Amino acid sequence: MMEIILASASPRRLELMNMLGFEDLTVLPAVGEENVDLNQPPHEIVRQLAMNKAVEVSLRCGGQPLIVAADTIVWYNNKVYGKPEDEEDAFRMLRSLSGNTHSVFTGVAVFRGGEMDLRSEESRVTFRELSDEEIRGYIATGEPMDKAGAYGVQGKGAVFVEHLDGDFFNVMGLPLCTLAQMLKQQGVEVF
Protein backbone atom coordinates (compact mmCIF):
# COMPACT_ATOMS: atom_id res chain seq x y z
CA MET A 1 0.00 0.00 0.00
CA MET A 2 1.17 3.49 -0.81
CA GLU A 3 2.36 5.63 2.10
CA ILE A 4 0.01 8.55 2.70
CA ILE A 5 1.04 11.60 4.70
CA LEU A 6 -1.51 14.08 5.99
CA ALA A 7 0.20 17.47 6.15
CA SER A 8 -2.17 18.85 8.77
CA ALA A 9 -2.46 19.10 12.54
CA SER A 10 -6.26 19.34 12.25
CA PRO A 11 -8.02 16.61 14.22
CA ARG A 12 -11.04 17.10 11.95
CA ARG A 13 -9.03 16.35 8.80
CA LEU A 14 -7.53 13.25 10.41
CA GLU A 15 -11.01 12.11 11.47
CA LEU A 16 -12.29 12.58 7.90
CA MET A 17 -9.35 10.69 6.39
CA ASN A 18 -9.95 7.85 8.89
CA MET A 19 -13.65 7.89 7.98
CA LEU A 20 -12.64 7.22 4.35
CA GLY A 21 -10.65 4.21 5.53
CA PHE A 22 -7.17 5.75 5.57
CA GLU A 23 -6.24 4.77 9.11
CA ASP A 24 -2.56 3.92 8.58
CA LEU A 25 -1.58 7.34 7.34
CA THR A 26 1.21 9.41 8.85
CA VAL A 27 0.39 12.83 10.26
CA LEU A 28 3.20 15.29 9.56
CA PRO A 29 1.90 18.87 9.92
CA ALA A 30 3.50 21.72 8.06
CA VAL A 31 5.17 24.11 10.47
CA GLY A 32 6.16 27.00 8.21
CA GLU A 33 4.57 30.42 8.15
CA GLU A 34 1.33 30.69 6.20
CA ASN A 35 2.47 33.52 3.94
CA VAL A 36 0.23 34.28 1.00
CA ASP A 37 -1.03 37.34 -0.85
CA LEU A 38 -4.49 38.01 0.59
CA ASN A 39 -5.31 40.34 -2.31
CA GLN A 40 -5.91 37.45 -4.70
CA PRO A 41 -9.24 35.61 -5.12
CA PRO A 42 -10.12 33.31 -2.20
CA HIS A 43 -9.85 30.09 -4.24
CA GLU A 44 -6.27 31.09 -5.13
CA ILE A 45 -5.44 31.91 -1.50
CA VAL A 46 -6.43 28.43 -0.27
CA ARG A 47 -4.74 26.66 -3.19
CA GLN A 48 -1.51 28.54 -2.47
CA LEU A 49 -1.70 27.72 1.25
CA ALA A 50 -2.35 24.01 0.57
CA MET A 51 0.45 23.87 -2.01
CA ASN A 52 2.91 25.51 0.40
CA LYS A 53 2.09 22.91 3.07
CA ALA A 54 2.48 20.01 0.65
CA VAL A 55 5.82 21.24 -0.66
CA GLU A 56 7.18 21.92 2.83
CA VAL A 57 6.26 18.45 4.07
CA SER A 58 7.61 16.76 0.92
CA LEU A 59 11.00 18.42 1.50
CA ARG A 60 11.03 17.05 5.05
CA CYS A 61 9.98 13.47 4.32
CA GLY A 62 11.66 12.60 1.01
CA GLY A 63 10.83 9.41 -0.87
CA GLN A 64 7.65 8.94 -2.85
CA PRO A 65 4.81 9.23 -0.33
CA LEU A 66 1.50 10.70 -1.34
CA ILE A 67 0.97 13.93 0.57
CA VAL A 68 -2.48 15.38 1.27
CA ALA A 69 -2.53 19.01 2.41
CA ALA A 70 -5.44 21.39 2.88
CA ASP A 71 -6.24 24.85 4.13
CA THR A 72 -9.61 26.46 4.83
CA ILE A 73 -10.75 30.06 5.08
CA VAL A 74 -14.05 31.77 5.62
CA TRP A 75 -14.66 34.58 3.10
CA TYR A 76 -17.11 37.37 3.82
CA ASN A 77 -17.31 40.96 2.51
CA ASN A 78 -14.10 40.38 0.52
CA LYS A 79 -12.16 39.55 3.70
CA VAL A 80 -10.47 36.42 4.96
CA TYR A 81 -11.71 35.11 8.30
CA GLY A 82 -9.04 32.73 9.55
CA LYS A 83 -8.66 31.37 13.07
CA PRO A 84 -9.47 34.04 15.67
CA GLU A 85 -6.56 35.66 17.47
CA ASP A 86 -8.49 35.94 20.73
CA GLU A 87 -12.04 35.92 22.13
CA GLU A 88 -12.79 39.47 20.96
CA ASP A 89 -11.67 38.58 17.45
CA ALA A 90 -13.97 35.53 17.56
CA PHE A 91 -16.83 37.74 18.74
CA ARG A 92 -16.19 40.23 15.92
CA MET A 93 -16.22 37.45 13.31
CA LEU A 94 -19.37 35.77 14.60
CA ARG A 95 -21.19 39.11 15.00
CA SER A 96 -20.45 39.99 11.36
CA LEU A 97 -21.49 36.51 10.09
CA SER A 98 -24.76 36.67 12.05
CA GLY A 99 -27.78 36.79 9.73
CA ASN A 100 -25.57 36.68 6.64
CA THR A 101 -24.28 34.26 4.02
CA HIS A 102 -20.54 33.65 3.74
CA SER A 103 -18.35 31.31 1.73
CA VAL A 104 -16.02 28.63 3.02
CA PHE A 105 -13.10 27.86 0.72
CA THR A 106 -10.80 24.89 1.13
CA GLY A 107 -7.73 24.31 -0.98
CA VAL A 108 -6.56 20.72 -1.36
CA ALA A 109 -3.16 19.59 -2.60
CA VAL A 110 -2.29 16.00 -3.46
CA PHE A 111 1.45 15.80 -4.11
CA ARG A 112 3.51 12.81 -5.16
CA GLY A 113 6.80 12.43 -6.97
CA GLY A 114 6.97 16.08 -7.96
CA GLU A 115 3.44 16.07 -9.39
CA MET A 116 0.93 18.42 -7.76
CA ASP A 117 -2.85 18.21 -8.12
CA LEU A 118 -4.27 21.41 -6.71
CA ARG A 119 -7.98 22.16 -6.35
CA SER A 120 -10.36 24.27 -4.31
CA GLU A 121 -13.94 23.92 -3.18
CA GLU A 122 -16.48 26.55 -2.14
CA SER A 123 -19.51 26.07 0.10
CA ARG A 124 -21.99 28.80 1.02
CA VAL A 125 -23.18 28.99 4.62
CA THR A 126 -26.04 31.14 5.94
CA PHE A 127 -26.17 31.95 9.65
CA ARG A 128 -29.39 32.84 11.42
CA GLU A 129 -29.46 36.03 13.50
CA LEU A 130 -27.36 35.52 16.63
CA SER A 131 -27.69 37.34 19.93
CA ASP A 132 -24.62 38.69 21.72
CA GLU A 133 -25.38 36.28 24.58
CA GLU A 134 -25.36 33.28 22.21
CA ILE A 135 -22.08 34.39 20.69
CA ARG A 136 -20.43 34.91 24.10
CA GLY A 137 -21.79 31.56 25.31
CA TYR A 138 -20.39 29.80 22.27
CA ILE A 139 -17.00 31.47 22.66
CA ALA A 140 -16.95 30.35 26.32
CA THR A 141 -17.03 26.71 25.12
CA GLY A 142 -13.61 27.27 23.52
CA GLU A 143 -14.80 25.58 20.33
CA PRO A 144 -14.35 28.54 17.96
CA MET A 145 -10.76 29.34 18.87
CA ASP A 146 -9.00 26.97 16.45
CA LYS A 147 -11.40 27.23 13.54
CA ALA A 148 -11.57 29.44 10.47
CA GLY A 149 -14.41 31.92 10.87
CA ALA A 150 -14.58 31.11 14.60
CA TYR A 151 -17.08 28.25 14.31
CA GLY A 152 -17.25 24.52 13.82
CA VAL A 153 -20.15 23.25 11.72
CA GLN A 154 -19.60 19.75 13.14
CA GLY A 155 -19.89 20.97 16.74
CA LYS A 156 -22.06 23.37 18.70
CA GLY A 157 -21.60 25.96 15.95
CA ALA A 158 -24.05 23.87 13.90
CA VAL A 159 -26.94 25.57 15.73
CA PHE A 160 -26.02 28.84 13.97
CA VAL A 161 -26.27 27.37 10.46
CA GLU A 162 -29.61 28.04 8.83
CA HIS A 163 -28.62 26.85 5.35
CA LEU A 164 -25.60 25.22 3.72
CA ASP A 165 -25.11 25.00 -0.03
CA GLY A 166 -22.21 22.78 -1.10
CA ASP A 167 -20.02 20.10 0.42
CA PHE A 168 -20.64 19.85 4.20
CA PHE A 169 -17.20 18.31 4.69
CA ASN A 170 -15.63 21.27 2.92
CA VAL A 171 -16.93 23.44 5.76
CA MET A 172 -15.25 21.00 8.20
CA GLY A 173 -11.98 21.53 6.33
CA LEU A 174 -11.66 18.70 3.78
CA PRO A 175 -14.00 18.36 0.77
CA LEU A 176 -14.29 14.58 0.57
CA CYS A 177 -15.88 14.34 -2.88
CA THR A 178 -13.06 16.41 -4.40
CA LEU A 179 -10.36 14.61 -2.41
CA ALA A 180 -11.64 11.15 -3.45
CA GLN A 181 -11.40 12.17 -7.13
CA MET A 182 -7.87 13.48 -6.60
CA LEU A 183 -6.79 10.27 -4.82
CA LYS A 184 -8.36 8.12 -7.56
CA GLN A 185 -6.13 9.85 -10.12
CA GLN A 186 -3.18 8.67 -8.01
CA GLY A 187 -4.46 5.08 -8.03
CA VAL A 188 -5.82 5.28 -4.49
CA GLU A 189 -9.43 4.10 -4.27
CA VAL A 190 -11.78 4.78 -1.37
CA PHE A 191 -13.76 1.63 -2.18
| Catalytic status, residue 37 | no
3-state helix, strand, coil in the chain (%, to 5): 40, 25, 35
Q: CA neighbours within 13 Å on the CB side: how many for 66?
A: 18
Distance CA 155, CA 151 (A): 8
CB burial of residue 14 (10 Å; 0-12, 13-18, 19+): middle
List 24, 37, 71, 165, catalytic entry: 71
Sign of the C-alpha dihedral, residues 151, 155, 161, 166?
Answer: positive
Q: How many CB atoms lie within 10 A of CB 177?
A: 12
Q: What are phi and psi of 151, to 5 degrees?
A: -155, 155
* Active centre residues (catalytic): 71
